Amino acid sequence: MEARIVPFGRQHIPAAAALLAETGKGRGLDTADPVVACQRIQEWATRQPAGFAALDGVSGRLLGFMAVSPPGGRKARVRLDQHATVGGDVGHQVRCALYAALSGQLVGDGVLVHDANVLAGDEGAVASFARLGFGIDQVKGFRPAAPAVWDPRVRRALPEDIPRLVELAEEVQEFHAGPPMWRPPEPGASQMVELGYRRAIEDGPAGLHLLVVAEIPGGRLAGLMQAAPDGRFTGAVTIDLAGVTQRFRSTGVGTALLNAVTDWSAGLGFARCGAGWTSANPVSDRFWRSRGLVPQAYRMSRVIDRWPPGGAADSGPAVLDRDGSPP
């Protein structure tokens, strides 16, 4: 089937919403509701995104769409609500054609790091992006929420805990900056983390934000988890930040914190509790999977190489920073 690639326009929104809703069915996404799917697309379509639609060359029927919101710097991301296609082999061909058009515009604008959020259960989409040169960078998984007994070491965070919690977050960031993750923190990350801590603490026991800590003998904090309702997956809570100081890993601290979050989630009526983690992080990947979190979505990533070390004739790979800039 031959597809015609055209810029995405408002006239494509109704058919795009139907495709997006079909993709989300049975996967716990809010966009499984066609009304929500339409709202999501309208939200990003009003911000003048870079985006394309694939139309059947004969009938004009929408076969798929792919878009990114206006990128910042050298990085752009296709979110879960910014792409969908028909199924089967046609779907793969359509994704390839859409990405060819989209990446041509992005690279022409100097945007060289491309991310795509993909449902883990959408095997066709995962395979297509892999064949297009993307690799799994981030994993998001869930497990059922259920009542649990809080470990005596675990309690809600207090305002006076914030300085130590910032230290813990910086320790986590330092760990992620090393091998094999090589993920340095974003500028201003510590300040954003501290603001999140304050919001969760101020929210209080009756709120929808939780920040719990593990306190070891002597009053020292050895770990933390921060959680809130998920913004895309229905009936779910997501852990936004988690960490255990290196000395106390593999001592049950992480599991105790997770049990507290799971209990809190169930108490508020949520069905699932989840977290996101870096695929290359051997500690996180092992911990979350072994605690029953099943992957539901991936962030797949690709870095475009435009600076061969020896010039155009040199086929050796170029080394780029994560923001797509040459070192």
DSSP 210-236: EEEEEE-TTS-EEEEEEEEE-SSBTTE
Q: What's the rounded Cα separation, in Å, for the pair 50 and 66?
A: 9
CA atoms within 13 A on the CB side of 144: 3
Order across the sheet with 236-244: list the strands.
75-78, 113-119, 294-303, 135-144, 272-278, 236-244, 221-229, 210-215, 154-156
Can you tell me which residue has the tokens 């326009």?
9
DSSP run (H or E) holding 123? helix 123-131
Q: What's the rounded Cα separation, in Å, for the pair 279 and 296?
A: 13
| Structure confidence at residue 308 (pLDDT) | 60
Return phi, psi of residue 223, to 5°. -170, 165
Q: How confident is the model at residue 310 (pLDDT cuts 50, 70, 90)?
A: low
Q: What is the pLDDT of residues 124-142, one digit of tens each?
A: 999 999 999 999 999 999 9
Can you tell me which residue has the tokens 């920073």?
321
pTM: 0.89
Token reading at 276: 């996101």
Token reading at 172: 């986590």
Token reading at 268: 């508020």
Q: What's the rounded Cα separation, in Å, for the pair 288 and 141?
A: 8
State whether residue 48 is helix, strand or coil. coil
DSSP 161-216: GHHHHHHHHHHHHHHHTSTTT--PPPTTHHHHHHHHHHHHHHH-TTSS-EEEEEE-
Q: What's the rounded Cα separation, in Å, for the pair 180 and 225?
A: 23
Residue 62 β-bridge partners = 55
CA dihedral 17, 75, 200, 213 (to 10 degrees): 120
Residue 238 β-bridge partners = 228, 274
Q: Which of 246, 235, 239, 139 is nearest to 196 (CA)?
A: 239
Q: What is the pLDDT of residues 29-84, one digit of tens each?
A: 999 999 999 999 999 999 878 899 999 999 999 999 999 987 677 899 999 999 99
The answer to whether 45 touches 13, Cβ cutoff 8 Å, is yes
The answer to whether 3 touches 63, Cβ cutoff 8 Å, is yes
The answer to whether 20 touches 53, Cβ cutoff 8 Å, is no
The mean pLDDT of the chain is: 90
Question: Does the pLDDT of residue 319 top 50, yes or no?
Answer: no
Domains and CATH numbers, the chain: 3-133 (3.40.630.30), 143-292 (3.40.630.30)
Mean pLDDT of 91-99: 97
Longest CA–CA span in the chain (Å) reads 73
DSSP run (H or E) holding 4? strand 3-7
Q: Which of 228, 262, 258 is nearest to 242 (CA)?
A: 258
Q: What is the pLDDT of residues 246-263, one digit of tens each?
A: 889 889 999 999 999 999
| Structure confidence at residue 211 (pLDDT) | 95
| Structure confidence at residue 323 (pLDDT) | 43
DSSP run (H or E) holding 275? strand 272-278
The answer to whether 136 touches 279, Cβ cutoff 8 Å, is yes
